[in-house]
Amino acid sequence: MTQLLLSCCLTLGFCSILAAQEPLHLTLRVDVTLERGSLASRACLSQLPPSSRYAFILHRGLNIKSIRDGAGTLRRYAGYEGGTFIGEGVLYTVLDTIAPGDSLCVEYVGAFPVYAVERGDFSTPDYKGFIAFNGRTVRAAEQSKWYPILYDSTRGTRAFESVTYDAVVRCSDCRGIYLNGDEPKAGPEAEFRSDLPVPLLLFAGEFRTERLGSLIVINATPHDLSRRGAEMLAGVVDSIRGYYESWLGIPYGPRLVFLQHTITENNPRRHWGFVTYPTVAFSNEGFAAFVDDAGGSVSPFLWPYLGHEMAHYYFGTLLKGRGPYFWFLVESLAEYLSLQIVRHFQGDSAFRARIAPYAGHAVTDTVSVRFDEIAAAGQVHDRYRYEYGPLLMVALDEAVGTDAMRELLASLLRQPDRLWDYASIRDAALAAGVTPDIWQRFEVSCIRPSFESGCLSRYLVRE
C-alpha cells in the first residue's frame, strides 16, 4: 500500500524464467544541491529491448539538454512542444534510429522548490511522485520519473522502472547518500552499483544509518528509534522473511532498508509510506509508532503492515502484474499474504478481526465490476484491491486448501512477464491442483453473487 495502515532461486524453472528477461542497464551521473533544490544528470540506458522507435518518460520539471546515442551523436526527439503527460512525467519520443545494441543517453537539469519544514515552510501536497527537497534531504522515487523511464504503450508505465545500474552521485552539502539497490554511503560523492534490477530511489542529505543483520535503518534519530527498538524491528523482518520463504518456497531478496523521510506537507495527522523495493519508506516519526521500548514489544499493527509491504517483493517486484488484473496481482495478493502473517504470528482471532472490516465495507461499497469481468486495471478501486480482492483469496483458500494456494501463487511468480486476464488466472489455479468442479463452485458461490448473498458474507461480524 502507499499509505500507512499500509538472488538465488529455489527451482531451475524459476531461475530460467528470470534469466530470460534481459534487464535494462542504466549508467547514471547525478549532481544534487540541497540548498538550491537542483538536480542535473546524464543517464544512459543500454541493453535496450528491440523497438522501431524508442520513447521514455521524464519528470515534467526536468529539462532535456540533449539526447544522444552511445557514440555521442545527437538524436532528434519530440515531446517538448505540445507533449503528452503521463503521471508525473512528459513522454518523449526519439525520432532518429537507435539500434537495440546501442545506448540511449539523456542529459537533463531541473530545479525544485525547497520547503524548509523545520522552519515551518510547507507545500500543500506531498506524495511518492514528488521530487521533495525539505532543507535537510532530497527524496526522489521512481514514481517521480527523476531518471528516464523507457516506455512501451503495450506494457504500461511501470514495465521499465527497474534497472541494473552503475551510478555516481555528487551532493556538496550531503553527509550521506543512498541509492536503492546498494547501501547508504558517505557524501559528498559516492559510487553505487546494482546487478539486481531495481526501481531507483534517491535519498541524500543529513541522516544517520543503523545496520542490524538483515535490516538497514536510515534517518531515524535515537529519539525515534532506540537500538533496542531497531533490534525488535529487525526480528520482525527476519520472521516475516523466513515465513514467506517457507510458505512460497521462493527465497526472499536482498536485506530490507527502512527509510524515514520528512514530508513537505503540513498535515500532522497524515502519515504515509511507500515501497521501492528493497526500501520501505515511512513518513516523519513513523518508527516511533512501531515499538514500545518500555514494554519491550512491537505494535500489533506492525505485523500486517510489514507483512503487506514485504510481500511486494513477490507481488510488485518479481511479478509486475501486467494486464487488467494489475492491482489485484500486486495489491490483493500482497494483502492476502499479509493475512497469512497475521494468522500465523498473531493468531486466528487477530486474523478474523483483520478481515471483519473488509467484509463490512464490502456490504456498503459498490464493487465496480465482478472479478471475472475485469477488463481494465482502473476498475479495481482501492477497497477492491486492498479488501475485496483479499477476501476472495481467503475464500478460495478455504475452498481449495493451503497447498493449492501456495502452488497457485508460486506459479504466478514463475511467469513474471505474462499478461494476466481472468482465463489465465483460472488456468493457473487449475494447474496448481484446483479441480474444475471446485473452481466452478467458487465462481457460483463467491464471484458472481452480490456480496450479501455470496460466500463472502460469512466474514461479516453480526451483532
Would you list the domain boundaries of the chain?
Answer: 16-208, 213-459
Mean pLDDT of 309-338: 92
Distance, in Å, from the CA atom of 127 to the CA atom of 150, rounded to the nearest integer, reads 22
Q: Give the pLDDT of residue 285.
A: 67
Residue 384 pLDDT exceeds 60: yes
pLDDT for 11 equals 28
What does the block give as the cell for 435?
479441480
Higher-confidence residue of 361 and 213: namely 361
pLDDT at 5: 35
C-alpha cell at 185: 554511503
Distance CA 315, CA 337 (A): 10
pLDDT at 366 over 90: no
Confidence of residue 299 (pLDDT cuts 50, 70, 90): confident
Widest Cα–Cα separation across the chain: 72
Is residue 227's pLDDT more than 60?
yes
- Between β-strands 163-171 and 189-198, what pairing exists: parallel, antiparallel or unpaired? antiparallel
CATH number listed for the domain at residues 16-208 = 2.60.40.1730
Predicted confidence at residue 442, as pLDDT, reads 96
Interhelix angle 402-413/389-400, nearest 10 degrees = 130
Share of the chain above pLDDT 90, in %: 63
Asked whether the beta carbons of 390 and 337 are under 8 A apart, the reply is: no
Q: In the beta sheet, which residues pair with residue 90?
A: 58, 85
Work out the pLDDT band at 269, boundaries 50, 70, 90.
low
Least confident of 102-106, 109-113, 198-202, 454-458: 454-458
Q: What is the mean pLDDT of residues 392-396?
A: 96
Segment 74-97 mean pLDDT = 94
Other Cβ atoms within 10 Å of 50 Cβ, number: 7
Burial of 338 by CB count in 10 Å (0-12 exposed, 13-18 middle, 19+ buried)? buried
Give residue 223's pLDDT. 65
350 pLDDT higher than 90 = yes
Domain 213-459 belongs to what architecture?
Orthogonal Bundle (1.10)
What is the Cα–Cα distance from 338 to 313, expressed in whole angstroms?
Answer: 12
> Regarding beta strands 279-283 and 256-261, do their DSSP bridges make them parallel or antiparallel, or are they unpaired?
parallel
To the question of pTM greater than 0.75 for the whole model, the response is: yes
Say yes or no to pLDDT of 78 above 80.
yes
User: Are 16-208 and 213-459 the same fold in CATH?
Assistant: no
**More confident position, 193 or 122:** 193
Rounded distance between C-alpha atoms, residue 25 and residue 36, angstroms: 30
- Judge whether residue 301 has pLDDT over 80: yes
Neighbours of 19 (CB within 10 A): 9
Give the confidence band of 294 by pLDDT, cuts at 50, 70, 90: low
* Element containing residue 205 per DSSP (H, E): strand 202-205
- What is the rounded average pLDDT for all residues in the chain? 88
